[in-house]
Amino acid sequence: METGGSKTACALCVGALACLANCVQHTTPEHVERGGSTLPVEFCYADDVVPLLRTDLKYAGNDNFVGRPIAGYVGKRPILRRDAAMALQQAAAELRPLGYGLIIWDAYRPARAMSDFRAWSRTPDDSTRTSFYPRTTKQGIYASHYIGDISEHSWGVAVDISLYHLANGQLVDMGGRHDLLDPSSATDSTEVSPAQRANRHLLRDAMQRAGFENYPKEWWHYRLSNSRPWYSYDFCT
Ligand SMILES: [Zn+2]
């Protein structure tokens, strides 16, 4: 948070409190207090379960296709349903002896974030196009099913994920960034180099063995297979 800007700080504070107030409305006796936060009992913090998990929640900051923090992203820790977190632990255990760690860009996503995406799509702002959807339009990213009005992320069973080298902390070269909403982001795309495609497949194969399914149009997106019940949650992160 910026210093010396009390008005800005206050505005952020009010926003966060309003969000927390909304969250309280969604809590039930089955929610539990954990580390000062309230989560539904079937959820956990993924970094409590997955060793060496690196976190960079893109929608909590400005480095995303909207270009600002997204509604509902208050905290900075990745939240998942427990079964998804346990599966991710299995994938991490397989990758670690090979010299790789997992970095997570998105996990549980509040339903209100999907509404925020849709509201952004109706604005004329196209300032992120070059970096995130260079070959299509805002309407195109919905029509091409890169984004929808509901998401598996809101069920708590989906992750946006990549690999980093345990030896030096550098990200593995996948041939494109998170949320590059473009044909080159297809897991099997021939627009990237064979080495980059092999890296995508290394991640995919480990995730599949752990019980996840890849979305073929996005090499970074995975959903736990057999992950019912499908229910969109809307508590804040
Ligand atoms: Zn995703």
Residue 10 in domain: no
Specify the DSSP class assigned to residue 233: -
| % of the chain beyond a pLDDT of 90 | 80
Q: Is residue 63 part of a domain?
A: yes
DSSP for 104-129, written as a single string: EEE-S--HHHHHHHHHHHTSS--TTH
Is 236 inside a domain boundary?
Answer: no
- pTM for the full predicted model: 0.85
Do 112 and 175 form a contact (C-beta atoms < 8 A)?
Answer: no
- Which residues neighbour 71 within 8 Å (Cβ) at sequence distance 6 or greater? 19, 110, 112, 113, 115, 116
State the DSSP H helix or E strand holding residue 161, giving kind and residue range, or none if neither: strand 158-165
The CA distances from residue 62 to 6, 15, 43, 145, 226, in Å, are 21, 16, 26, 23, 33
The Å distance, Cα 98 to ligand 1 centre, comes to 25
85-94 pLDDT tens trace: 999 999 999 9
Distance 163 CA to ligand 1 centre (A): 15
Question: Can you spell out the DSSP letters for 10-79?
Answer: HHHHHHHHHHHHHHHHH--TTEEEETTEEEETTEEEHHHHSTT-EE--GGGSS-STTSSPPTT--SSS-E
Structural domain harbouring 189: 31-224
Position 185 pLDDT exceeds 70: yes
For residue 8, tell me if it sits in a domain: no
Find out whether 97 and 91 touch, Cβ atoms under 8 Å.
no
Distance 179 CA to ligand 1 centre (A): 8
- Kindly give the distance from the C-alpha atom of residue 134 to the centroid of ligand 1, in angstroms, as a whole number: 19
pLDDT tens by residue, 28-74 = 334 544 444 579 999 999 999 999 999 999 999 999 999 999 999 99
How does pLDDT run across 105-162, given as a tens digit for each residue? 999 999 999 999 999 999 999 999 999 999 999 999 999 999 999 999 999 999 999 9
Is residue 164 in a domain?
Answer: yes
Residue 159: enclosing H or E segment and its boundaries? strand 158-165
Q: Which CATH number is 135's domain given?
A: 3.30.1380.10
Question: Which residues are part of the catalytic machinery?
Answer: 218
How many structural domains comprise the chain? 1
- Does residue 2 sit within a domain? no
Residue 229 belongs to some domain of the structure: no
Beta-carbon contacts of 201 under 8 Å, excluding residues fewer than 6 positions away, are: 187
Residue 235 maps to a domain:
no
